[in-house]
Amino acid sequence: MRRDTAAGLTFLAFSLFFLIFGMELPMGTARRVGPGVLPVGAAALLLVLAVAILVQDYLRHSGRRIGGFNWRGLAAITASVLIFALAVHPLGMVVTVILSVLVAGAAEKPFRALESLLLGAGLSLAAVGVFIYGIGMRIPVWPNF
């Protein structure tokens, strides 16, 4: 299977899922929009994108084939999400974001520790600014020892 075909089919599956389940939510009116408008609208746009990708791939008859599966990337990203979920309260936002970015950076070959560390530092500052000071979430900034 070619990459564009896989991407188009994936987009198609997600769009149909959100269209089907989004239609169960009330749409509301033009003046008072309901909770179903956003998922259905986004799913409709994703459906158009999926069809465009599939048609373009069919007409082109070329493209790179999908190679082996990147287990290292899947493991690193999954571990990063789990680390964030489990460590954000005991370790605080700053340390947890930096740690999560470092673990996620291990998905890439070669692992670039300095770039991951700098990215983690920048993202942790942004996360503290937006989530803690911006919208007032009650998450510790630093570890609670």
For residue 65, report the phi and psi dihedrals to the nearest 5 degrees. Answer: -80, 155
Contact 16, 47 (CB under 8 A): yes
pTM to 2 decimal places: 0.62
Confidence at 10, pLDDT banded by 50, 70, 90: very high
User: What tens digit of pLDDT does each residue of 56-66 get?
Assistant: 988 887 666 66
> What is the C-alpha separation between 88 and 86, in angstroms, rounded?
6
User: What tens digit of pLDDT does each residue of 108-124 get?
Assistant: 889 999 999 999 999 99
